[in-house]
Chain A
Amino acid sequence: MNEFMSIVSQPAVCSYLQFMIFIPVAAGIILFLVPEKYIRIKGILSVAVSLVTGYLTLALFSSAIRMVPLDDLVAKSCMTLFGVNLPDGTSGFLTITTDNLSKLIIVFISLFAFLILLFSLSYIKQGRVKNYYPWFLITLGCSYGAVLADNLLLFLAFWGILGITLYKLIPGHDEESSSTAKKTLILIGASDTILILGIAMLWRLTGSLSMNAISLPTDNILAVTAFVALLVGSFTKAGAFPFHTWVPDYSKDAPASSSAILPASLDKLLGIYFLARITTDLFVPGDWMRLLLLSIGVTTIITAVMMALVQHNYKKLLGYHAVSQVGYMITGFGLGSLIGIAAGLFHMINNAIYKSGLFLSAGAIEQRTGEENIDELGGLSKAMPITFAASLIFAMSISGIPPFNGFASKWMIYQGIIDFGSGPGIASKLWVLWLGLAVLGSALTLASFIKFIGGVFLGRRKTAFEKVREVSPLMWLPMVVLALFCIFFGVFATNFIVPKLIMPVTGEFQFTGFWNSGIVSLLIILSIALGVIVYLAVSLKKFRTEDSFIGGERFHEKTGYPTPEFYKTIGEYRPLAWMYKKAEGKLFDIYDLSKDFVLWLSHKLSEAHTGILPAYVIWVFAGLIIMLLIMI
């Protein structure tokens, strides 16, 4: 009791740690008891909880704590509090690490959780997703837990719960969404199994489970296997090729706010956080492993963005981009240099900002129009000006238009690749390939966002959407905040954000390129102001509004060239046409492939069920003998 009291009475920052994880989880469990009727109250309570934990994370961020053995904090205080004796073996397992990396990540987790909860207040209506807020809060608490855990088993426990909450944040009323939920759960679950195997191998190799203590070179086959197994866990969570297939489906069927919190921001933060731990702390990847990482990185970028190019459903389009952007982060970490890692981290944060923003604007469009197909939309920019402005900023950020944040982090990745090119290894010799595909991916991203922005907001407004209005402030406020973050992180990237946020994590490094985002942004503002002045001064009286000229033909409702038709010709080239056809037939979907395999296998096994008793007896005895042999 004394120890517990000492923790409560002593407002040391280390006592925040346990509350950070337990408050959201406990609040989530309590909220299960509140009936769905009071969803507003549940929402407001959740926002309050996220504010409290947000404050705690900020306090932790500004503190200087490094490592905390939570045994003293949690275990003993729980023991004395509940009178339970925890087994002695737990000591050493409940260690929490608060290095600069985890501090950085939890601050952003808090930010996204708060903004998206705010958005959900008016977006999530009763009956949409059962127990949305409780699961959301549990997600929040477990995310903190996963990021702060130093022990791999503790990490794994939180990581596993996140797979379940992901499953629970999708409605599952209709067949389509429930099959998507199942697919997500199975893919995440399977990858977690591989992850556990990897961790077991790691334990076998090093005899330790503390992330802080392990540093293993990938020079033998067992270490390589463990490395790859851990990568599978990280890649599935973050959504990298070839384990990405749950992300687009999830984005299509889940409510936009669920996609915004999990696949768009938290899963990226966690998956890439774990990737950072794997590549920088747990292992020392060799040249071939770098080659593997870089190949997966650029493959992810290109394949996902090619699929995004042909989508008609804007939520699915965003889902494919949530995959493609991961490729840049993996590329950054694959480089392994300080600037590469910094670029990967910076891109992860930037991506989480604009991608969750994009999902939120998708939610806003969906709420106001009830339409998810780009073909049916158009001309919403006048009706929803704030959503449009925010979406345009997000789209420009993700396509890497200077001076927004996406450009800054991509520019760092490219620099990293060029520097990497002077290295000796085989992966370095191929630097032009990495650079070329990364830049091509960026151009293709621009193309598919032209489709999104052009198809949804620009063009002619359909008569069906004449009465569409801007969404409520609760919904546009988070978008505006995220858009401001996009601008801020872009404009102050080189002189403030990277040195202050990223360099404490990675260590000091010098940019090899030159980019004065501050002055350039100022010049943009000046140019736009000048342009407006020119318009006003020169031809204010000479503005006339007229309907479009299409060669003298009259306009009909159907007249037009919708933006999803833009890239049809791309898909007509022979190899690409074949690829798209196969992709539609789910040939590249690891889930469907393994499903087919499992069904085939169970079919084969069912042939053993002959219904003849002696045959079964032989099976039983054979099994017993094998077990005996193994045990002896």
Chain B
Amino acid sequence: MAIDLFYFFVFPGLIFAAITGAFLSWFDRKITARVQFRKGPPLLQPFYDFFKLLLVKETILPKKGSPMIFLLAPVFSVFGATMAGVFILLPLFNITTGFRGDLLVIFYLLTIPSFSYIIGSLASGNPLASVGASREMKLIISYELTFLLVIAGIIMKAGQQFDLNSVISIQQAGTPFIGSISGVLLFIAGIFCLQAKLGLVPFDMAEAETEITEGMFIEYSGSAFAMIKLTKYIMLFVLPAFIVALFMNGFRLEGISILWAILKIIVVVLLLTLIRNTNPRVKIKQAVKFFALWMNLIAVIAIVLIAFGY
């Protein structure tokens, strides 16, 4: 029990995932700055942001909304991200314990942050937040199937096993799943799902600073917004780690392989950053079509290929 609390709150849960995610967020911003020929923020900028929001800034509550839900939703989103993070990172760090979840559990836990954002934003009673919430929900509907198909493809490759430990050990015994045509296709679909889950351009229409002024988060400020930032940091680490676990045979924690592990995460984040810096924001209808038609098609082709052994 005590060890489970440690897993959840310290390592590899809340604190570890948040700190790593914050550094990755710095990396993302630095790369973005370099792409735009700017200098970029200092290394500790994400921490400055977080603690300023948490400790210094005042929290404004909506007058006509439901303050209780408005404040609790970010907490629940931190929980969802952390819990999914623990279930993803424990197998990655090769910690075997009775406290574990399978791919389906992870899949469902990963929707909790988006769900909480939506509930929280609707609780504010702001129509712009409603627009954001509506877009986020439609985005969820469209990428959820693709994301599931990606996971189903992995399950097929792993011989109907769906816990992350087996997925990683099967890859480490053989070749990583990305080393095949179907694997590459699934990886592409998976990366775009990540982009949508993280709310990065081209799928940031739920926040869309320039048109609906942060949409879902328009009413958030102070410590409540700090929680949302925290969730975003955690997700920025946890989701790439999930992709690494699914496709790139996870981490090997000995000698030089540790560097490889870090490199894999950084490569995935770099990929996400580059996509977000080289694309415009699409409209929600385009996004729905993109996932419902093209990404699902890619995933289905990959699954058919897997069925034929490619």
User: Which residues of A are in contact with B by a Cβ distance under 8 Å?
Assistant: 378-379, 381-382, 399-402, 407, 411, 414-415, 418-419, 421-422, 429, 432, 435-436, 439-440, 443-444, 446-447, 450, 453-454, 457-461, 512-516, 519-520, 523-524, 526-528, 530-532, 534-535, 538-539, 542-551, 559-563, 565-567, 569-570, 572-573
Chain B 200-230 near chain A by CB (<8 Å), digits 1 or 0: 0000000000000100001100111001000
Distance, CA A499 to CA B278, complexed state (A): 53
B95 within 8 A of A: no
Report whether over half of chain B's contact residues are helix, strand or loop; otherwise say mixed.
Answer: helix
CA distance A523 to B149 in the complex (A): 29
Residue of B nearest to A407 (CB): B108
B102–A514 touching, CB < 8 Å: yes
Q: With A458-B65, A543-B59 given, can you name 15 additional A-B contacts, CB distance below 8 Å?
A: A401-B111, A402-B105, A402-B112, A429-B307, A440-B145, A443-B144, A447-B140, A454-B122, A528-B75, A531-B72, A535-B71, A539-B54, A545-B67, A546-B63, A569-B288
Report the separation of the CA atoms of residues A528 and B83 in the bound assembly, to the nearest whole angstrom: 13
* Pair count A-B, CB < 8 A: 235
Are the C-beta atoms of A544 and B60 separated by less than 8 Å?
yes
* B122 x A458 contact (CB < 8 A): yes
Return chain B residues, CB-CB under 8 Å to A513: 102, 104-105, 162-163
Chain B minimum-CB-distance residue to A437: B145
Tell me, yes or no, whether B18 is within 8 Å of chain A by CB.
no
Q: Residue-by-residue, is B37-76 near A (CB-CB < 8 Å gives 1, otherwise 0)?
A: 0000000000000000011011111111111110110111
Interfacial chain B residues near A447, Cβ < 8 Å: 137-138, 140-141
Interface string of B102-138 (1 = CB under 8 A from A): 1011011101100100110011111111110110011
Distance A419 CA – B4 CA, assembled complex (angstroms): 29
* Contact between chains at B69 and A458 (CB < 8 Å): yes
- Tell me the bound Cα distance from A401 to B133 in angstroms: 18
Given A516-B98, A539-B59, A548-B124; A563-B140 close (CB under 8 Å): no
Q: What would be 20 A-B contacts, judged by CB atoms less than 8 Å apart? A: A379-B66, A381-B123, A419-B160, A429-B307, A439-B144, A443-B140, A443-B144, A447-B138, A532-B75, A535-B71, A538-B55, A539-B55, A548-B64, A550-B127, A550-B128, A559-B127, A561-B130, A567-B138, A569-B285, A572-B285
**Chain B residues in contact with chain A, CB under 8 A?**
1, 4-5, 8, 54-55, 57-69, 71-72, 74-76, 78-79, 82-83, 98-102, 104-105, 107-109, 111-112, 115, 118-119, 122-131, 133-134, 137-138, 140-141, 144-145, 148-149, 152, 155-156, 159-160, 162-163, 213, 218-219, 222-224, 227, 284-285, 288-289, 303, 307
Contact status of A519 and B4, CB under 8 A, knowing A411-B105, A450-B118, A513-B102: yes
Closest 8 CB pairs of A and B: A531-B75, A542-B58, A566-B134, A454-B122, A561-B130, A548-B126, A513-B102, A460-B125
Q: How far is the CA of A523 from the CA of B3 in the complex (A)?
A: 12
B115 touches A548 (CB 8 A): no
B115–A422 touching, CB < 8 Å: no
Question: CB < 8 Å: which of B78, B99, B101, B128 contacts A551?
Answer: B128
